[in-house]
Structure 1
Amino acid sequence: MSFEVEIGLGKRGRTAYSLDDVAVVPTRRTRDPKDVSLAWKIDAFEFESPVIGAPMDSIMSPETAILLGKLGGLGVLDLEGLWTRYENPEPVLEEIAALEAADFSPANTLRLQQLYNAPIQAELISARLEQIREAGVVVAGSLSPQHTQQFYQTVLEAGVDIFVIRGTTVSAEHVSQNQEPLNLKQFIYELDVPVIVGGVAGYTPALHLMRTGAAGVLVGFGGGASGTTHRSLGIHVPMATAISDIAEARRDYMDESGGRYVHVIADGATGTSGDIVKALAMGADAVMLGAALARASEAPGKGWHWGPEARHPELPRGNRVNVGTVGSMEEVLWGPGHHTDGTSNLMGALRRSMATTGYSDLKKFQSVDVMVTP
């Protein structure tokens, strides 16, 4: 069966669906929500929920990474962010929060670029990761492909448990005539820690990333609510289709590799509990949350949210957006919820949705029936 449509006489394209276009369908069986497990495991690390805090300065500081870890998730610190450029980034965060409340503001973007022009300090990478380790939670840090070669040894020496390589789009085969590209397969092979890498949004590039030895792949282009990649570059793959395609790549890779399982992690377009439910239903093992966690009262962005794309020195592809504050991080994740729009008690909503559709664990929930509702 082909899902291609004719755009014009000279071009055909696939029909694709966003998470808004699909809905989970209840089955004949329901369960008690208390009987539902949200546990997720990657490599040797186990978590109470399938939640990863996105490496964005508006969400993850060493303190919020620790808090998320104690609440059963995984916090990933941006090792190219303010916490590794400034000894005390609090005044910088205050300044960013106080910028004019305007969308697509050139002045705001210029100021972000200036603030992030401060050099990354290797000693601060070590100090921030050590702070997280001392708290007794899983330590995870993120670098872009461009800075991985320069700083990964510092990251490993600091004792990171999970290493994340995150960019707008990451391929297993980057071609450059100007500099020696990162050999992802060799790099991952030589590391002693599990690596999560992405973003990626198609079957073939995801399969290639899985063959590098990655423990997990990030589906999507990051940014989510704050990203403007579609507007800037014309690149966009609706998340429901992207997750489903890459879940299929995971299954084919398991057959190819003799059973090696690579985790599929939805990164972007999961701003509410309903989005999280549908991302997992489409085949994701976990979700990397941005705006959803930026709404926590402890978030460094103070109700504002922006990603690495917003500060790019030459071609910024992100915006600083106001997401507001809905409650503490514990209330955002585990409740009690006081909002009816899917922004609080995210895990309570996921557990109830799984119970309503008759599933007791995340892996089985991936087989839930869905309908297309464009």
Structure 2
Amino acid sequence: MSEIEIGRNKRGRRAYSLDDVAVVPSRRTRTPHDVSIQWQIDAYTFDMPVVGAPMDSVMSPATAIALGRLGGLGVLNLEGLWTRYEDPLPLLDEIAALEADGVNSTKRMQEIYAAPIQAELMTARLAEMREAGVTVAGSLTPQRTQEFSKTVLDAGVDIFVIRGTTVSAEHVSRDAEPLNLKQFIYELDVPVIVGGAAGYTPALHLMRTGAAGVLVGFGGGASSTTRRALGIQAPMATAIADVAAARTDYLDESGGRYVHVIADGGLGSSGDVAKAIAMGADAVMLGTALARAEEAPGQGYHWGPEAHHPELPRGDHKHVGTVAPLERLLFGPADTADGTSNILGALRRSMATTGYSDIKEFQRCEVVVSPQELR
């Protein structure tokens, strides 16, 4: 790998965002309807490689159910408004009415999210999803996993997601006994998806814990200001390719155990989804893209848990607009040509145009580097 000299005392590896790469057509083309976009993780098969991000602006029990019925996987944020309030709808209305990116909006969101998490509401929300007959998935941060994991598992979750800005297999703390991720996953009876991870080594360590899937991303989403607040960012094209390399090496190391790579962050358009899979992702976790659905609880606004952190807020409360009902946003027909709707129709067409018939094949497609500054 070539490195660039930043100064006499520091060198850095050149990394690429999804905007910096493009997919190249091959010698063969296909009909879009002949392309399969199915995705399977553990015993669960989905008609599309889309996971709804566990963010209050994106997933409510109702939208998780709707996404599940359309063939995707909705993940409910078990530390959000739906587990803090019996009826969070008035609070979602209030957040939608706040000034985007304003100081007062951050302060008010901190106040709203200061309410305690209620275990009985976790049970009720997950039961609602289960009664609808969809695959049930809920998300906790590593800090809350030990406290609430029994509640989540007793409620009958099918897939357990441990999601944070960054998650490592080895967390060091002087103040508290950290989560032993390997032991925790070993003792569970359900598949676990964990992340984010932004490079080869941390992803490989997460795979060795027994995770069924690894989320790839750090500070790349539209609602995140992690780079501005912490100076940390991982350009997604390079991050996905690095983690996909870890998946390949772990497959050999483990004697055939395949860990799914799920791109999480910076996927605002259908072209981003196609390029994420081309770089090696098995599926994508969508936040901003699904926040634009008419059914989204954010009502055209989008924010993540970083936006209301009690000590160091580092996320935006952004207006992303409303594009279409969820089904049309995913499957079309589209009314605009900007890649914000008919996301899966565009993915099928991208795969068909380059001649690939399924997700695994498409991961092997040719890509080129075309940095924005050169266009």
Q: Distance in 2 between matches of 1:255 and 1:46?
A: 24
**Which 5+ residue runs of structure 1 have no aligned equivalent?**
none
Tell me which of 205, 211, 214 is aligned to 2:208: 211
Q: Residue 314 of structure 2 aligns with which residue?
A: 317
Q: Residue 330 of structure 1 aligns with which residue?
A: 327
**Which 5+ residue runs of structure 2 have no aligned equivalent?**
none
- Secondary structure at 2:222 match in 1: helix
Confirm or deny: 8 A CA contact 2:220 2:236 kept in the other structure. no
Q: Distance in 1 between matches of 2:133 and 2:229?
A: 41
One-letter code of the match for 2:197?
Answer: V
Q: Residue 161 of structure 2 aligns with which residue?
A: 164
Matches within 5 A, 1:251-266: 251-266=248-263
Measure how far apart 1:336 and its partner are: 1.0
Confirm or deny: 8 A CA contact 1:196 1:215 kept in the other structure. yes
Q: Residue 188 of structure 2 aligns with which residue?
A: 191
Tell me which of 251, 271, 280 is aligned to 1:283: 280
1:303 paired to 2:300 = yes
Q: Distance in 1 between matches of 2:352 and 2:225?
A: 36
Measure how far apart 1:221 and its partner are: 2.0
Q: Distance in 2 between matches of 1:180 and 1:121?
A: 23
Confirm or deny: 8 A CA contact 1:222 1:267 kept in the other structure. no
TM-score, normalised by the number of residues in structure 2: 0.98
- How many equivalent residue pairs? 371
Measure how far apart 1:70 and its partner are: 0.4
Q: Distance in 1 between matches of 2:218 and 2:336?
A: 28
1:25-51: CA deviations, max 9, x gaps?
A: 000100000100000000000000000
Q: Residue 133 of structure 1 aligns with which residue?
A: 130
Measure how far apart 1:222 and its partner are: 5.7
Q: Which runs of 4+ in 1 moved over 4 A?
A: none
Q: Residue 35 of structure 1 aligns with which residue?
A: 34
Confirm or deny: 8 A CA contact 1:172 1:212 kept in the other structure. yes
One-letter code of the match for 1:240?
Answer: A
Percentage identity across paired residues of the two chains: 74
Q: Residue 67 of structure 1 aligns with which residue?
A: 66
Measure how far apart 1:146 and its partner are: 0.5
Q: Residue 46 of structure 1 aligns with which residue?
A: 45
Q: Residue 246 of structure 2 aligns with which residue?
A: 249
Confirm or deny: 8 A CA contact 2:194 2:213 kept in the other structure. yes
Q: Residue 78 of structure 2 aligns with which residue?
A: 79
Confirm or deny: 8 A CA contact 2:219 2:225 kept in the other structure. no
- Secondary structure at 1:173 match in 2: coil
1:111 paired to 2:87 = no
One-letter code of the match for 2:126?
Answer: L
Confirm or deny: 8 A CA contact 1:223 1:290 kept in the other structure. no
Q: Distance in 2 between matches of 1:46 and 1:359?
A: 20
Confirm or deny: 8 A CA contact 1:219 1:242 kept in the other structure. yes
Q: Residue 220 of structure 1 aligns with which residue?
A: 217
Q: Distance in 2 between matches of 1:107 and 1:87?
A: 25
One-letter code of the match for 1:25?
Answer: V
Confirm or deny: 8 A CA contact 2:219 2:226 kept in the other structure. no
Measure how far apart 1:317 and its partner are: 1.1
Q: Residue 372 of structure 1 aligns with which residue?
A: 369
- Secondary structure at 1:170 match in 2: coil
- Secondary structure at 1:142 match in 2: strand
Measure how far apart 1:363 and its partner are: 0.5
Q: Distance in 1 between matches of 2:286 and 2:310?
A: 25
- Secondary structure at 1:198 match in 2: strand
Change in Cα spacing, 1:68 to 1:222, as seen in structure 2 (3 Å) is: farther
Q: Residue 7 of structure 1 aligns with which residue?
A: 6
Q: Distance in 1 between matches of 2:218 and 2:53?
A: 12
Q: Residue 361 of structure 1 aligns with which residue?
A: 358
One-letter code of the match for 2:150?
Answer: Q
- Secondary structure at 2:4 match in 1: strand
Matches within 5 A, 1:329-348: 329-348=326-345
Q: Distance in 2 between matches of 1:96 and 1:167?
A: 22
TM-score, normalised by the number of residues in structure 1: 0.99
